[in-house]
Copies of this chain bind each other. A is one copy, B any other.
Amino acid sequence: MAKKSRAAPRREESLSRDRIIEASIEILDSSGEDGLTFRALSERLATGPGALYWHIADKSDLLTAACDAVVARAMAAPAVATTTPRETICALALGLFDAIDAHPWVGSALTRASGRLPIVRIIERLGQQVCALGVPRAHQWATVSALLHYIVGVAGQNAANAQVARTQGSDRSEFLDAMATTWSHLDPDDYPFARSVAAQLRAHDDRVDFLAGVDLILRGIGAAHPR
């Protein structure tokens, strides 16, 4: 047996906020929101639950920090000077959509992060482009707010869908299929529209619909503030 080197640390790396957040993201990605517990997390980090509280305030802090790490990456892509503000907004929105698609738990974390850092990052990037679009100062906040709420709304719905699919053990298409079937059995007098779109539901592409919504808002901005 090899002799222990002097002052060998208990872990390969000592505990730190960043290491905790990194481990949290891994657990969230593999086991979902319900899988992230202080016990599971401390086990993975080879420590006790109490140790985590030295580096993070509470679970909400942990979730927001994990969310922020993902959002920061998605918002880090620099704006290319040769693109229009409109294109940049679409790119930012799509970047967020894809990040949330890859990490569904970010969707629900974002919903609970109002006013916190991850939301401010998004507001800042959107806001700069809304200014560049020529929206007058008095309307800038409401405009950014509309874009933000739409994006966060879709994010939350996607997270919820993923959560349902996870707990039911079914994948997305099975989930959509079951939903479409339920809708097509609704009362024709009370729910004519829901019945009529049930079929489209099976084939639709969330990403395309998401972009269509962003496009609608951008058109609205253009119509409200013609240059």
A residues near B (Cβ < 8 Å) are 108, 111-115, 120, 123-124, 127-128, 131, 139-146, 148-154, 156-157, 160-161, 163-164, 175, 179, 182-183, 186, 190-194, 196-197, 200-201, 204, 208-209, 212-213, 215-224
Expressed in whole angstroms, the minimum distance between the Cβ of A72 and any Cβ of chain B is 11
Which 4 residue pairs of A and B lie closest in terms of their CB atoms, listed nearest first?
A153-B153, A127-B193, A146-B213, A220-B220
How many angstroms between the C-alpha atoms of A79 and B164 in the bound complex? 33
Check if A193 sits within 8 Å of B123, measured CB to CB: yes
Q: Is the CB of B220 within 8 A of A145?
A: no
Give the distance to chain B from A181, nearest Cβ to Cβ, in Å: 11
Within 8 Å CB of A141, what residues of B? 197, 200-201, 204, 209
Report the Cα distance A190→B146, complex, angstroms.
22
B213–A145 contact, CB under 8 A? yes
